[in-house]
Structure 1
Amino acid sequence: MATAVFLGFIIFSLYLAIRSKKGASKKDVHDFFVASGQFGACLVFFLTAGEIYSIGTMVGFPGGIYAKGPTYGIWFLGYILLAYPLGYFIGPKIWEAGKRHNAITLPDLFKGHYHSRLLEVLVAATAILFLLPWGELQFLGLIAAFKGLGWNLEPIYLVLIAALLAFTYITISGVRSTAYIAILKDILMVVAIIVTGVAVASQAGVSHVFHAASEHVSNVMNARQLTFSMSTMLFQALGFYMLPVGVQFFFTANSGNTIRRTQMAMPLYMLMYPFLVLASYYALSQSLHLASPNEAFFAAATRLLPDWLLGLVAAAASLSGLLVLAGLSLSIGPIVTRNLLPNLPESRQKRTAKIVIAIYLLVSIVMTLSTPNLMLTLVNTTLYGVTQFFPGVLIVLLSLRVRAGAVALGILVGQVLAIILYVRQVDLGGFNLGLLCLAVNVLVMVSANAVAKVASFSAPRHS
């Protein structure tokens, strides 16, 4: 029964993708990747939420609570709630800059404002570098989800099917199919989480579960944990909308006010987190011996839900991973064809991007199956890297005049320093290393810009 329900939702998602084609008035590159800026608040809301609340919501957050207790949830929830007010103000500005520079990708913003090929290539290349592991994370999340649900499928078949489905969604109508499927995915995900949490509350009891879990995990934060939580909240809130896929989704909106409306409604999703905590605490209270903390939510679902509801949970988990995979592909494809391949005409960008996406998915499959531990390590550097774009983007949004070379140097120093500190496991007393690197980034950029200005003023002028 579970398999039938699961397959039914997957088939319905393909129907939604086909249905989404009716909204397309054109078939050019802008429509394929950013829907020609036609989406209203509803579609933008579900599209952006679909990327934020991914399979990590059902895997990573409950796993962190299971392994580390409520202290894990403080920074996890805190940075998201801090990011939304920031998105309310900078989201419309990003949209306006995108309109001004006819942008599809994040590097397009840098290209349009700074008029520097070097800076454009640097942002494009490093964006892809730091995004690459994110796709593998979705594959690994899907594998963990199905293992947790007791579906012992061979990983190679699972990732191949997932990649094929993601590519099919993209091919049908690009970002439009992703937006339509996001509506189904979010409904399924919220229902799956709430139903599981309610099942825990009704069958095990909230007070009993919390009391039993408190014997396994600590509810107290020491000074180091507090430093980590506070610095990480700030850093990740600044980088929340610097992921190229998030910036690109802003470009799908039909106005800046549309984005403001979506940001106002986003916190509603946080209401599902108490149910995730309940599921995690249930796994702790039952002393379940899990192969991985990431199976905590699914262990509760498997024990408490009827077979047909497990099919719904599996569909929610699958679509959560597939949509992020599709979103990443829709971001990486045009970055390569618009920003890395010189002088490729727009008429060929869409077709070439599909080839790039297929290659990206194949590489992700190989890396997932051959070096999963390396990929999980590299995922931790993603936000360290992309958040270094924040000063440069802020300059674009405020229409300031800063030299492209200074911005490029700041980004490069910040990213390299982040990788070095992470690889060497430098102890900063709990302080988030990315925030330190961001400060260095800004310092280098300001200094380099000042030096360049002085040099230009002191240079001899010939009449």
Structure 2
Amino acid sequence: MTNSALWITLAGMIGLAVIAVGGRRERAQNLSEWTVGKRNFGVVTSFFLQAGESFTTFTFLGVAGIAFTAGIGATYAIPYIPLGYVALYFIGPRIWKLSKDRGYITQADFFADRYRSPLLGRLVALCGIIFLLPYLQLQITGLGLIVRLVTGSASSGTLSMIVATVLVVGFVLWAGIHGLARTAYVKDVLILLAVVVLSIVIPLHFAGGIGDVFGQIAQTHSEMLTVNPGDYDRVWWTTSLLISAIGCGFLTTPHLWPPLLAAKNGRVIRSNNTFLPMYQVVMILPIMLGFVGILALNPNTSSNAVLLTLAGGALPNWALGLIAIAAASAAMLPAGAICIGISTLASHNLVKIESERTKLRFNHLVVIAAATTALVLGLTRPDLLANLLLLTFGGLSQLAPGLALALPEKPLLAKQSVFAGLVVGMLTVIVMTVFDLNLANIDAGICGLVLNLAVIAVVEAAVRATRPRTPTPAPSDDRPAATPILETTT
């Protein structure tokens, strides 16, 4: 039975890769075509590409696990993406227009051009690469954990990680963003079906139905229905929601730029950001399954294993294999998007390469290197990047002030202010995370943003104070006298 689940999962992963490979219609002539296509994706394609980031391994492993550990505290994962999409409704079309007019294909392009600072662009690119690598490792390691939980075999998890990495690298190199777009349709349908089926079967099997779940929780674990003091208190809930919404709304994660820039026009982006918040309603379901875990599982169960442990107890092995395919798709598509994000930052912004052909080849080498690094770390030191993973969103959210204040026709900040604030904010997040500094459960990203903004204010004041003023030209003798403004009455 274990072997059947493994082979079903591997076959499904190969099928996803084949679908992605079929997304390529013609060979990309340059890095721009490989990254954002011809910027002509319509509403449906753009919708599924943007929606793809809503459902990752976090959906299968993280949300139910937080509910199992923190109860209702897991609900912070529901509103932050809708709040982010509200901001993107207004910000997204402006970013798209600037990118279309100026030829941006990466987030770092935006910073380098708007602030007239290639050095700032390189800093943004370097930070993006560093902070995205843990997220890539999470997708690959998470996929291995999913298969291991489904099959009960550690070797199966290892095999699936290797196979998935090879497949992701293959379809990303071959098809670029078109491969992601083709896979996004299938992936979202699979995940929606899997989550809905699990949300019906698991409560029926373990608690007699959804209504009975919360009735029993109210009687036996009523503390899980409120946000209580402790590691997951109200401060943690509020600041986690806030930093996540800032990261989403201001598009601070670099791998989310290509799907947005590939859209046909600003109307497509506004349309998507109108309907995408509905996707987050589905996030309620894994939270509910986490509550089932509170009733049915040993309290010492690993939080990451909650959902699939429940599935293993409620479904036959072949059905579990189908669920694993959906879970694998939740890792493979985001992993592909992250590979594109990392490689384009390295080949387009970090390293200066004139030849388009050489740049594209170097880009492909970076895809292979990034995926291989994440795979090796996932196999040999799965916990090595555990702390760094916490840096991904908190660290990248430090880009929000500089990004937001560069959206007007003329940026409102000097490049020195953005550079200094970004360095201080990111160092704050790194130090707080690595040394496990807890400031009243306030998210490290929020602490970093406070210092970031403070440094921006100080440096901006200093820059403006020392900036030479343009002298007002003296009036010329032969210039006609000014016409007095006459009061008029109506």
Tell me if TM exceeds 0.5.
Answer: yes
8 Å Cα contact 2:406/2:413 also seen in 1: no
Deviation of 1:78 after TM superposition, in Å, equals 2.5
- Give per-residue Cα distances to partners, 1:18-55, cap 9 Å, x unaligned: 32112x58532211111121111111111121123111
Once residues 78 and 17 of structure 2 are traced to their aligned partners in structure 1, the CA distance between those partners, rounded to angstroms, is 32
8 Å Cα contact 1:290/1:296 also seen in 2: no
Q: Which range is displaced more, 140-149 or 374-383? A: 140-149
Q: Which range is displaced more, 145-154 or 387-396? A: 145-154
Question: Within 5 A, what are the aligned runs for 1:79-118?
Answer: 79-118=80-119
In structure 1, what residue type is equivalent to 2:396?
Answer: V
8 Å Cα contact 2:353/2:359 also seen in 1: no
TM-score scaled to structure 2, two decimals? 0.88
8 Å Cα contact 1:338/1:344 also seen in 2: no
Deviation of 1:306 after TM superposition, in Å, equals 3.2
Q: Does 1:352 align with 2:362?
A: yes
8 Å Cα contact 1:94/1:247 also seen in 2: no
1:393 aligned to which of 403, 406, 413: 403
Does the C-alpha gap of structure 1 residues 52 and 307 become closer, same or farther in structure 2, counting only changes over 3 Å?
Answer: same
Once residues 224 and 301 of structure 2 are traced to their aligned partners in structure 1, the CA distance between those partners, rounded to angstroms, is 21
Deviation of 1:7 after TM superposition, in Å, equals 4.2
Q: Does 1:418 align with 2:429?
A: yes
Deviation of 1:253 after TM superposition, in Å, equals 0.6
**Equivalence for 1:234:** 242
Q: What is the percentage of aligned positions where both structures have the same residue? A: 26
Q: Secondary structure at the match of 2:376?
A: helix
**Equivalence for 1:253:** 263
Aligned-residue RMSD, C-alpha: 2.2
Deviation of 1:332 after TM superposition, in Å, equals 0.7
Q: Which range is displaced more, 415-424 or 201-210? A: 201-210
Question: Within 5 A, what are the aligned runs for 1:199-210?
Answer: 199-203=201-205, 204-210=208-214
Once residues 134 and 8 of structure 2 are traced to their aligned partners in structure 1, the CA distance between those partners, rounded to angstroms, is 31
Does the C-alpha gap of structure 1 residues 304 and 119 become closer, same or farther in structure 2, counting only changes over 3 Å?
Answer: same
1:181 aligned to which of 177, 180, 183: 183
Q: Which range is displaced more, 221-230 or 336-345? A: 221-230
Once residues 130 and 417 of structure 1 are traced to their aligned partners in structure 2, the CA distance between those partners, rounded to angstroms, is 14
**Equivalence for 2:319:** 309
Once residues 287 and 437 of structure 2 are traced to their aligned partners in structure 1, the CA distance between those partners, rounded to angstroms, is 32
Q: Does 1:211 align with 2:220?
A: no
**Equivalence for 1:430:** 441
1:19 aligned to which of 6, 17, 22: 22
Q: Secondary structure at the match of 2:406?
A: helix
**Equivalence for 1:56:** 58
Question: Within 5 A, what are the aligned runs for 1:23-422?
Answer: 24=26, 27-73=29-75, 75-154=76-155, 155-203=157-205, 204-214=208-218, 215-216=220-221, 218-222=224-228, 225-240=233-248, 241-288=251-298, 291-399=301-409, 400-422=411-433
1:452 aligned to which of 463, 466, 476: 463
8 Å Cα contact 1:101/1:113 also seen in 2: no
Q: Secondary structure at the match of 1:69?
A: helix
8 Å Cα contact 1:242/1:387 also seen in 2: yes
Deviation of 1:68 after TM superposition, in Å, equals 1.4
Deviation of 1:107 after TM superposition, in Å, equals 0.3
Once residues 27 and 352 of structure 2 are traced to their aligned partners in structure 1, the CA distance between those partners, rounded to angstroms, is 28
**Equivalence for 1:10:** 13
In structure 2, stretches of 5+ residues that fail to align are: 472-490
Deviation of 1:371 after TM superposition, in Å, equals 2.4
Once residues 296 and 287 of structure 1 are traced to their aligned partners in structure 2, the CA distance between those partners, rounded to angstroms, is 8
In structure 2, what residue type is equivalent to 1:149?
Answer: V
In structure 1, what residue type is equivalent to 2:29?
Answer: K
Structure having the higher Rg = 2
Does the C-alpha gap of structure 1 residues 292 and 447 become closer, same or farther in structure 2, counting only changes over 3 Å?
Answer: same
Once residues 454 and 282 of structure 1 are traced to their aligned partners in structure 2, the CA distance between those partners, rounded to angstroms, is 61
8 Å Cα contact 2:88/2:273 also seen in 1: yes
- Give per-residue Cα distances to partners, 1:51-85, cap 9 Å, x unaligned: 23111111100111111111222x22122222121
Once residues 415 and 392 of structure 2 are traced to their aligned partners in structure 1, the CA distance between those partners, rounded to angstroms, is 23
Once residues 359 and 260 of structure 1 are traced to their aligned partners in structure 2, the CA distance between those partners, rounded to angstroms, is 36
Q: Which range is displaced more, 155-164 or 238-247? A: 155-164
Once residues 156 and 7 of structure 1 are traced to their aligned partners in structure 2, the CA distance between those partners, rounded to angstroms, is 12
Q: Which range is displaced more, 274-283 or 103-112? A: 274-283
Deviation of 1:382 after TM superposition, in Å, equals 1.0
Q: Which range is displaced more, 247-256 or 214-223? A: 214-223
Does the C-alpha gap of structure 1 residues 13 and 318 become closer, same or farther in structure 2, counting only changes over 3 Å?
Answer: same
Q: Which range is displaced more, 264-273 or 205-214? A: 205-214
Does the C-alpha gap of structure 1 residues 370 and 4 become closer, same or farther in structure 2, counting only changes over 3 Å?
Answer: closer
Deviation of 1:3 after TM superposition, in Å, equals 4.6
Q: Secondary structure at the match of 1:27?
A: coil
| More helix as a share of residues | 1
Once residues 153 and 165 of structure 1 are traced to their aligned partners in structure 2, the CA distance between those partners, rounded to angstroms, is 20
- Give per-residue Cα distances to partners, 1:285-307, cap 9 Å, x unaligned: 22346651111111222222233
Q: Which range is displaced more, 104-113 or 229-238? A: 229-238
Deviation of 1:408 after TM superposition, in Å, equals 0.6
Q: Secondary structure at the match of 1:381?
A: helix
Q: Secondary structure at the match of 2:23?
A: helix
Deviation of 1:234 after TM superposition, in Å, equals 1.8
TM-score scaled to structure 1, two decimals? 0.93
Q: Which range is displaced more, 117-126 or 204-213? A: 204-213
8 Å Cα contact 1:146/1:314 also seen in 2: yes
